[in-house]
Structure 1
Amino acid sequence: MAQNQQRKHSKLGEVVRAYAPLGFITFGGPQAHIALFHDYFIEKFKWVSPKVFSELFSIASALPGPASTQMAYAFALLYAGPVGGAVSFLMWTLPVALIMAAAAIGVSYLPEQLPLVVLKIENGLTSSAIGLTALAAYKLGTKINVDPLTQILGFISAAVAINYSAAWLFPVLMIFGGLVTYLEHYYTTWRARRSEAKAFITPAAVAVAEDETGAAAAPADEEARPSQIATEVVSNRAEEEEDEHIEFSYSSKIGLAVLGIWLVLLVIAIVLKTVPGIPLPLNIFGTFYFVGSIIFGGGPVVVPLLKDYTVSVGWLTDREFLIGFALINSAPGPQFNFSAFLGGLALRSLGWGGSIAGSILAHIGIFLPGLLLMSAIIPLWTEFRKKKYIQVIFRGMGASAVGLVFAAVYLLWSKAVNDVNNANNALSISQFPLYVAIVGFSFLSVGFLKFPSYGAVLVGGLVGLIEWAVVSRQ
């Protein structure tokens, strides 16, 4: 008993050590976060294998809510149980959430346009994040998309995500990938059985053939060979898909109960959001819980929806929203931390205490659905992931997910740099050779020279700072 308690404390300590820097260095948006997680939890801490990482990425991409936060939570949940998951979530979101809550209190003192030094540092940090994202895409692609079908699925996913944007796009691409590999597996199995049926020769037929030729008929072997090949393909793929056994701290029945809690809270949130006369604090929680339950696609999708749900009802002004938006884009961690800023302004009429309460309600409200859903799915996943059809489906989902990481490299590249002359405009990094060099440095140093990923991020920020110092002297 004491030994088990010691192990739990040891694992919690490892969670704290692993997540302590993440809330401060994860710039660049969800896909850049995934890139950093790849470096941390596969290569540095070795908490998960590339295959498990891919499966969790597929699950997070297919669920509503902030995908990178759900992945960060899932790693610790698997490694150290629910307490470890809760600790990881707080360490991942709290640093920037506190800053955004403080900003909500002091919003009247903030400038409409961020200082040039902040913009330059952000550009450098984002450039490093793009390099890390490209590295994650390369590594995941070489480990997961290893045959023609998964490579084609990755290409389709990337091509669609680059050319089209919609809230439902990510889960649809995940489902499409899983369906394709399931149908391919079904067809391969059917062909193998059909070949076996054609190759089957009865003992009587063998005897007749031996009487006539003095040897067993050669066509039997010729017919059997396709069956053997097809069977070997299926068998080899099954061996490749073998992975470590995952023990989890609670059962799938508890997972289903958690799913029920998410659903009940969603119904309550809809009531709190829509029924007139509901107290404002409850209205805030209901609104943000509802948003966290229906959003697919992360920050780029959630921001316009939050604007509609907060500015249009008079909780804050357009100018205040834009100030908070500029701040969250300059900050590390998930963009859903924006909720702490919006909730703080929504309850500012009650003073500092009201602002703090509003930040807490909004922050919990928007993140809770995604955490509940991941908590519900993980035990079901650990129980059923070894089943053949689940493995086959995850093969396609993982391939599509890798395509999304490749798409993220292009999308980040095309709108990575702040336009200092127009706060609402973002420029392609290709127009800035210095930032292109930072991308290359990040990719090369972390991927091939064993430089730590957080070091590459800090170098990017430092280069941005040096650029500002040079520009300001001219």
Structure 2
Amino acid sequence: MPSNPAGSSPRPTGRWSEVLAVFLRLGLTSFGGPVAHLGFFREEFVNRRRWLDDRAYADLVALCQFLPGPASSQVGIAVGLSRAGYAGGFAAWLGFTLPSAAAMVAFAYAIDVLGGAAGSGWLHGLKVAAVAVVAQAVLGMMRSLAADRERATIMVAVAALVLAVPSAWAQVGGIVLGGLSGLLLTRDAAPADHAHLPLSVGRRTGLWCLVMFFVLLIGLPVLAASVGSHALDLVDAFYRAGSLVFGGGHVVLPLLQEAVVPRGWISNDAFLAGYGAAQAVPGPLFTFAAYLGAAMQPAPSGVGGALICLIAVFAPSFLLVVGALPFWEALRRRPEVQAALRGVNAAVVGLLLAALYHPVWTSAIAGRGDFALAAAAFLLLMMWKTAPWAVVVLCAAGGALLAIV
């Protein structure tokens, strides 16, 4: 793809239907989480189809790692945008998201049909699987995002803050604290490599999208509090979660848990069971939002609730990707921005570390059998490199067996 000057818009060279077909196949087959998704994307769009070269793809990945939200979905949106314009960006998201979202809605209906299934053995096994999956995510992210003593200190401090003050505001405060601490403690780190990004949109469009992102982030809580609509409460909660998640899909767990469980929209058992089931489907982990929207008791729920929550949690990704593209070239060269981002990344590992203890561990590990099952699942994931969906199935079977004995 030829380079474009900053602020110009590339001319799309493909069709949105072509983008939809490719991403639908990826949405059906891309297991393994965001890192694996990025590997699938590189093979498809750099090596096989040559829609991007390696340097352009690497810079897109760097941009989406910098932004809050699901990195693999954001890379997909950007690839679709470069191929077929705004329709291509939407087609990429739809194709990659639809298969797992449909599976999660079906799982929500299955729980409802079974009635009282939140206490059954197989569902408890899904909660145990979540322990192993989150532990693996914490360890992997800690190795890359909190590998030195400064960032490890930020990680532990944020985890302690969130456990001491369990609220959504503490989580936001932890992210802000991480950014400030990174600015103070990690400015001497080596700067990140820079490669020219040949994908851009107009600065005016980008600025409009960034303004809309912040208007919604600030205005939705005020509007929801004044109107008193449950549908608007859902949009507010899920938009805020999608706006504040750095570091990958697993970090959405504590934000969504704090948003929906204390309000009584869904039980903690059903929440964790759905999170465990989300590991068994391909595509982005953010489709967990579709399960929550479908499984919640207050209306809107079912398919309508799933659509509201799914669109709300992904809306920030669209606004941020389009908004950041025109300004990324200059922004990422600034050492203070890179330092703040290092602190933010360490902070989100701390958020996930706190979530590993509560609610994941405290809700799933009730005895020696649960601990043994979680340890076995962790071994399979870390050492035997077993596919997450297979570990989830094994944990469900193990939970059913433990309930019998």
TM range (shorter): 0.5 to 0.7
* Cα deviations by residue, 1:127-164 (Å, 9 ceiling, x for unpaired): 255335534543x35xx96xxxxx24322222213322
* Pick aligned residue for 2:193 from 220, 239, 242: 242
Is residue 15 of structure 1 aligned with residue 23 of structure 2?
yes
On the 8 A contact 2:125/2:398 being kept in 1, the answer is yes
Deviates more, 1:425-434 or 1:359-368: 425-434
Is residue 56 of structure 1 aligned with residue 59 of structure 2?
no
What's the counterpart of residue 152 of structure 2? 155
TM-score w.r.t. the length of structure 1 is 0.59
* Letter of the structure 2 residue corresponding to residue 163 of structure 1: A
CA distance in 1, matches of 2:66, 2:369: 30
Q: Displacement, 1:260?
A: 3.0
What's the counterpart of residue 212 of structure 2? 261
What's the counterpart of residue 303 of structure 1? 257
Q: Displacement, 1:431?
A: 7.4
* Pick aligned residue for 2:319 from 364, 372, 386: 372
On the 8 A contact 1:57/1:398 being kept in 2, the answer is no
What's the counterpart of residue 167 of structure 1? 171
On the 8 A contact 1:97/1:337 being kept in 2, the answer is yes
CA distance in 1, matches of 2:394, 2:212: 47
Over 3 Å counting, the alpha-carbon distance change for 1:386 and 1:429 in structure 2 is farther
What's the counterpart of residue 223 of structure 1? none
What's the counterpart of residue 336 of structure 2? 393
Is residue 291 of structure 1 aligned with residue 237 of structure 2?
yes
CA distance in 1, matches of 2:236, 2:132: 34
* Pick aligned residue for 2:394 from 439, 451, 463: 463
Alignment of 1:182-201 (within 5 A): 182=187, 184=188
Structure 1: gaps of 5 or more residues? 27-32, 61-66, 146-150, 186-236, 349-354, 447-454
What's the counterpart of residue 374 of structure 2? 435
Over 3 Å counting, the alpha-carbon distance change for 1:437 and 1:45 in structure 2 is farther
What's the counterpart of residue 51 of structure 2? none
Q: Displacement, 1:300?
A: 1.7
Aligned-residue identity in percent = 14
Q: Displacement, 1:171?
A: 3.4
CA distance in 2, matches of 1:91, 1:336: 17
CA distance in 2, matches of 1:14, 1:133: 31
* Cα deviations by residue, 1:20-60 (Å, 9 ceiling, x for unpaired): 345xx56xxxxxx5555566567997778778646533431
On the 8 A contact 1:122/1:461 being kept in 2, the answer is no
Structure 2: gaps of 5 or more residues? 1-10, 47-53, 163-169, 246-251, 279-284
Secondary structure of 2:374's aligned partner: helix
Over 3 Å counting, the alpha-carbon distance change for 1:73 and 1:118 in structure 2 is same
Alignment of 1:350-365 (within 5 A): 356-365=303-312
On the 8 A contact 2:80/2:89 being kept in 1, the answer is yes
TM-score w.r.t. the length of structure 2 is 0.68
* Cα deviations by residue, 1:418-464 (Å, 9 ceiling, x for unpaired): 78xxxx45469997345334424423344xxxxxxxx5213423432
Q: Displacement, 1:412?
A: 6.2
CA distance in 2, matches of 1:98, 1:80: 21
CA distance in 1, matches of 2:110, 2:402: 33
Secondary structure of 1:330's aligned partner: helix
| Higher Rg | 1
- Paired residues, what number? 360
On the 8 A contact 2:80/2:88 being kept in 1, the answer is yes
CA distance in 2, matches of 1:374, 1:429: 46
Alignment of 1:396-415 (within 5 A): 396-404=339-347, 407=350, 410-411=353-354, 414=357
